[in-house]
Structure 1
């Protein structure tokens, strides 16, 4: 499917049968990341490369049982704030409980602060971030798909989120950032931050409430979505969330 066609697609009914169906959801009720369009294009390119269908919506009305039964993975792409009403939240909870998948990218942790179930699904909650800068990204686990080509440690430029403690004790961590490699101090006037300490997670996954959830904090800038290492990392998360496959022991 061409990107221009994807903009007008509403569902998966008339699409060819492929590996799986991915709904990209990017509604914002707070900060709107300019890189969202780059993220959508990158996921569509991954769909073309890896043979899965992609539909993109910024409207929450598609969170209902009839629509979600077509979907294998819902991607919250740089969502912010309160994006689903109570009825839509209930439909999404039922969707996950049916064994389906969730992928959160970047500010998906800056979303739905008053919905405890979602906070446990996404794993951690965003607190604050310093200025965009280069830091040392580190691979914590090679069991998860998508990090095969990533070196153990590499320089990476992004927006480094500080998080709360884990909302769920069953998280498995994939990537972290070395706080010694960048200036962790943040000052937003009413809120300050100084990093997370010895261990600062960046990406993780878990099985949750019958389904699967993957999150990566990377993805603030347009350039990140053009990076082949990030594309592989992101597809690893989408593939596992859709199928439950790819983890090595």
Structure 2
């Protein structure tokens, strides 16, 4: 069932689309993620349109949004025409922000693999408490601990992205990426922007002030109000 009940606005410079369609595992934390994004976006003078109808992924539909958030999407969520429209949107100057299972999405679409930076590989069972280290942007070396599901990725994205946070695999069991385990990163894509964090499986992390601070940075970068992520 489509969640979008009103016609798409022709111009909505203050709007971001939070897209939560899933075709595989569905996270219980999705409603909390949407509420958190709505609150953080409001701080930046932005409003959130939330939905799961992929029919919005056309040139006209996407033109209404400054950025699109894939919030715990999973599996194949766009058809080929929708993929083409989203690629054009990003390369033409649109923004993308991915949360957690956004990396467990669109495995058969190479452009999306570059957009998200790295696809999900596996994760240890249950939640892990891991030490996080921030990098760049005046935050270099700042650390804290988080309890969440910590993804291992199919590749280390560092050669293609700017890494903003890493997790220390010595601080929890089940990491497979070694001494360099990125968990949050960003990159330009054509004239557009991409920002991703692996945090966001557990609903409780959305109340973590460190995660909220990261998401504020990600939103500002994705919508283009900050040149720095």
**TM-score relative to the length of structure 2:** 0.91
* Structure 1 vs Structure 2 CA RMSD: 2.2
Deviations 1:62-88 (A, max 9, x none): 111111111110000000000000010
Aligned to 1:189: none
Contact 1:103 / 1:237 at 8 angstroms: preserved in 2?
Answer: yes
Unmatched segments (≥5 aa) in structure 1:
1-6, 185-193
203, 206, 213: which is aligned to 1:225? 206
Instruction: Give the secondary structure class of the aligned counterpart of 1:232.
Output: helix
Q: Which residue of 2 aligns with 1:154?
A: 144
**Which of 9, 13, 16 is 2:9 aligned to?**
13
Query: What secondary structure sits across from 2:194 in the alignment?
Result: strand
Distance 2:157 2:212 in 1: 27
Taking the TM superposition and a 5 Å limit, the aligned residue runs for 1:161-240 are: 161-166=151-156, 169-184=159-174, 194-240=175-221
Q: Distance in 1 between matches of 2:94 and 2:10?
A: 21
Whether 1:22 and 2:19 are equivalent positions in the alignment is: no
Does the 8 Å CA contact 1:74/1:103 hold for their aligned counterparts?
A: yes
State the TM-score, normalized to the length of structure 1: 0.84
Query: Which of these residues, 92, 95, 112, is aligned with residue 106 of structure 2?
Result: 112
Residues 3-45 of structure 1 deviation map (CA, whole Å, 9 limit, x = unaligned) = xxxx766466399x76x32100000010000000000000111
Structure 2 residue runs of 5 or longer lacking an equivalent are none
1:167 Cα deviation from its structure 2 partner: 5.9
Deviation at 1:141, TM superposition (A): 1.9
